[in-house]
Amino acid sequence: MSAFKSLSEAVIKGDAKAAVAETQSAIDSASNVQSILDEGLIAAMDEVGDRFSKGQIFVPQMLRSAKTMQECLKLLKPMLQEGNVTTKGKVLIGTVKGDLHDIGKNLVAMMIEGAGFTITDLGVDVPPEKFAQKVQEIEPDIVAMSALLSTTMTAMPLTIEALEQAGVRDKVKIMIGGAPVTAEYARKINADSYASDAGSAVSKAKELLGID
């Protein structure tokens, strides 16, 4: 983190102007793009997620940092596409069938992306078959499902069933979350993990894939 300390600090603070300038100067001084991403941006977002999970910072601050990172990524993207940039893993995310709530799901997607995963967001009201079809198509490492209602969280086991029927259940890890969802429920429906907030979703995702 030391080489990109001021970049990381700007991202943690959510100071987009300073962070973009730091990113540009890192590029100009011919720093390795992967290092700028890993040691500057992702390391900063790890810290943001950690502080959020501990209750030291709050949602608007987390959002601000994530937006700052996105601004920096715009500068890095053209170079990222040329080189071989590694991803921590592929995550497929969506709010389950019958449920239109997207705020929690969006926060989780944003933080997981900020942590260096590649995210595919299916949006809200996603039927089990659509999850299954997309898993077959993009072969993600993790499927993350959100539900905010006691009546819609029952679509989670149905989605797992659809993955089983498609023969892809064992090829992915399943993570679930949302207000009525609990760790106990995750065990009950044979999901692999439960995350209580956007910060812990990142650490749970890493845990599932044996990262760190």
Rule CB under 8 A: which residues touch another protein? 58-60, 63, 98, 100-103, 106-107, 124-125, 149-154, 179-180
Q: In whole angstroms, how close is the CB of 25 to another protein at the nearest point?
A: 31
Nearer to another protein, 32 or 151 (CB): 151
Q: In whole angstroms, how close is the CB of 55 to another protein at the nearest point?
A: 8
Surface-to-core class of residue 91, CB atoms within 10 Å of its CB (0-12 exposed, 13-18 middle, 19+ buried) = buried
Query: Which H or E run includes 120?
Result: strand 118-121
Residue 28 has a CB neighbour count (10 Å cut-off) of 8
Nearer to another protein, 104 or 116 (CB): 104
By the 8 A CB rule, do 91 and 117 touch? yes
Q: In whole angstroms, how close is the CB of 137 to another protein at the nearest point?
A: 23
Helix, strand or coil for residue 157? Answer: helix
Nearer to another protein, 31 or 154 (CB): 154
Nearer to another protein, 99 or 141 (CB): 99
- Amino acid 130 reads K
Surface-to-core class of residue 17, CB atoms within 10 Å of its CB (0-12 exposed, 13-18 middle, 19+ buried) = exposed
Q: In whole angstroms, how close is the CB of 165 to another protein at the nearest point?
A: 22
Q: In whole angstroms, how close is the CB of 8 to another protein at the nearest point?
A: 23
Phi, psi values for residue 95, rounded to 5°: -90, 135
Measured between its terminal Cα atoms, the distance across the chain in Å is: 15
Polymer length of the chain: 212
Query: Which H or E run includes 23?
Result: helix 16-28
Nearer to another protein, 153 or 168 (CB): 153
Q: In whole angstroms, how close is the CB of 120 to another protein at the nearest point?
A: 20
Nearer to another protein, 98 or 207 (CB): 98
